[in-house]
Amino acid sequence: MPAFDELKVFTGKAHPKLAQDICSYLGIGLGVCEVFKFKNDNTFVRVRENIRGRDVFLVQPIAAPVNDNIMELLIMIDAAKRASAERITAVIPYYAYGRSDKKDQPRVPITARLVANLIEVAGADRVLTVDFHAGQIQGFFNIPVDELTAIPMLSRPFASRNGDNLVVAATDTGGTRRARDTANILNTPIAIAEKQRVANADSIMESIIIGEVSDRDALVVDDEISTGGTMVSTMNVLREFGANDIYCAVTHGVLCGDAPAIMAESGAKEFFVTDTLPIPECKRTDAMRVMSVAPLLGEAIHRIHNGLSVGALFDEV
Ligand code: R5P
């Protein structure tokens, strides 16, 4: 017996297709909510149905335009709070500003923490997300956070290889845990690219590979692909060290600027990415395989609503 009344799912403008797919998984209709901007650039939200006492889930990845979509999410939370929702869960499949998670230079902000504070102050009771840039971002919230991972679903296409002649590669030492988790599923060794980022520039310098990749196919894993620079330089250094076919698997396809073209030219055999962010046709390449997180998020929402374990979801996967 759920502890809360009826479950309701609403979406902002960031990724309505994902919200719709989550509702299809749950077998419910998407809640009706009006979200638009006035001519003066102010955002307006109106929930068009009764949510008094309901268990409300607001789906809004922080996609571009990032700052508009954050504001929209905050206003949706406020609208739901003032409409007397019993519990509000911010479903944020992609958490932007995740890279700004520490004060690693003098006089810089910790924006990931600031955004967490804003979400809480707006009135969210819980957060549901997929693959934070760093797990410790959970600690920026004083409300429960369920962080799902797309690693098992991104590993699935390689399961039939049974680890045969494959190595899982991290794009930097920070991605070691992700590579290790993937390698454990696929029963492969890991390799790590040692990356040096130049100051605050988007462009990076890659240097060496730690681990044995020669004459093996490589699966490069990362949390996100933004400009594509990290992925392509990792692929290049893997080739220098003798890797054969290279596959890529990332959770969040930010794919800004020329990233789709850069990936198209990268020579990646296949490039797996999820739909935590919208990936319009113009960003898709021949090698790209988009996998949906809607069943994962839908199942997590079902479990949260019914007071069931979310962790057990991964035991079953
Ligand atoms: C960095 O630490 C992340 O894990 C990704 O490697 C990075 O965000 C990718 O960015 P880009 O595609 O711009 O190199």
pLDDT in tens, 259-269: 999 999 999 99
Ligand 1 pocket mutation, candidates 230, 250, 252, 276, criterion most atoms within 8 A of CB = 230
Omega of the bond prior to 61 within 30 degrees of 0, cis?
no
Q: What local confidence, expressed as pLDDT, does residue 105 receive?
A: 94
Ligand 1 pocket mutation, candidates 94, 225, 233, 252, criterion most atoms within 8 A of CB = 225
Phi/psi of residue 246, each to 5°?
-120, 130
Q: Provide mean pLDDT across the span 185-200.
A: 84
Would you name the residues annotated as active-site residues?
195
Give the number of the atom of ligand 1 that is nearest the alpha carbon of residue 254. Answer: 12
Nearest-CA neighbor of 21 among 72, 54, 59?
A: 59
Q: What local confidence, expressed as pLDDT, does residue 2 receive?
A: 66
Q: What local confidence, expressed as pLDDT, does residue 200 receive?
A: 64
* Closest Cα to atom 6 of ligand 1: 230
C-beta of residue 112 within 8 angstroms of C-beta of residue 98: yes
Give the number of the atom of ligand 1 that is nearest the alpha carbon of residue 202. Answer: 13
**C-alpha 198 – ligand 1 centre gap (Å):** 13
Query: Mind listing the domains of the chain with CATH numbers?
Result: 7-149+295-314 (3.40.50.2020), 151-291 (3.40.50.2020)
Q: What local confidence, expressed as pLDDT, does residue 168 receive?
A: 98
**C-alpha 103 – ligand 1 centre gap (Å):** 18
- Positive or negative, the CA dihedral 262, 265, 266, 272 is positive
pLDDT band for position 4 (50/70/90)?
A: confident
Give the number of the atom of ligand 1 that is nearest the alpha carbon of residue 171. Answer: 6
Q: What local confidence, expressed as pLDDT, does residue 207 receive?
A: 76
Pocket of ligand 1 (CB under 6 A): 171-172, 174-175, 202, 222-231
C-alpha separations of 129 from 99, 220, 224, 230, 237 in Å: 15, 22, 14, 23, 32
Identity (one letter) of the amino acid at 286?
D
What percent of the chain clears pLDDT 90, i.e. is strictly above it?
A: 91
pLDDT in tens, 37-94: 999 999 999 999 999 999 999 999 999 999 999 999 999 999 999 999 999 999 999 9
Give the number of the atom of ligand 1 that is nearest the alpha carbon of residue 229. Answer: 14
**C-alpha 302 – ligand 1 centre gap (Å):** 32
What percent of the chain clears pLDDT 70, i.e. is strictly above it?
A: 95
**C-alpha 102 – ligand 1 centre gap (Å):** 16
Nearest-CA neighbor of 196 among 228, 171, 178?
A: 171
Q: What local confidence, expressed as pLDDT, does residue 315 receive?
A: 76
pLDDT in tens, 204-217: 565 789 999 999 99
Q: What local confidence, expressed as pLDDT, does residue 5 receive?
A: 79
**C-alpha 230 – ligand 1 centre gap (Å):** 6
Q: Provide mean pLDDT across the span 4-32.
A: 96
